[in-house]
Amino acid sequence: MDEKILYRGAEAEICLSKYMGRTVVQKKRVKKVYRIKDIDTQLIASRTKEEAKLIAESRSYGVSVPLLYDVDLAKGIITMEYLAGDRVKDILNSLKDAERKQLCLKIGESIARLHNHDIIHGDITTSNMILLDDRVHFIDFGLGCKNSETEAKGVDLHVLMEAFESTHSKYAQCFSYVIEGYKKQFSGDASAVMKKIEDIIQRGRYR
């Protein structure tokens, strides 16, 4: 099959492709012509490696993510499982109330599992979650990192809060279900993370 570009961003292209007989997704980091070539190559390699590492680690901690098939650091390509499910962004508003609540609880539990091991996703939105086989799969760890600070965990959750308010404004209470799931699974001081979210909200108000 010919490659099909699913998404083209400033940092990467996401393509549907074939790999060893399987339909796969390939994330290809974009070369930056304005950067010195050697530096660009190093940056692409290190970011590709970091993202692949975060995906593999997340799976080992019980968070659903795509399976990794191949990581090419020189070309900046991650070849991974194609998840033939629904983006949470596309289905959340049309679910029944009880289903929506269950989904949000699961999202919160998964974020807590990431945070328990200091994995910060960096772009937690409903666009970066795919529901498949009744499991929420997290995709696109391109802005992710390892960070043990409460601030980073608060920022991670605040990004999702804003996504709910903008994309799912009719169901903004969904975020409170996410927090409920998060508190149930988080092994650290959840109240400190909640306080940090409040701080971030206040900062935004007084900018």
Active site residues: 123
Least Cα distance to 127 among 94, 168, 99, 158 occurs for 168
The sign one gets for the Cα dihedral 8, 9, 13, 14 is negative
Strand partners, 12: 29
Compute φ and ψ for 141, nearest 5 degrees.
Answer: -95, 25
User: Residue type at 13?
Assistant: E
The three-state secondary structure class of 54 is helix
Tell me the residue type at 164: F
Question: Whose CA is closest to 110, among 64, 161, 56?
Answer: 64
Tokens representing 87 are 């983006």
Alpha carbon 56 to its chain centroid, in Å, reads 13
CA dist list (Å): 100 to 6, 57, 204: 27, 28, 28
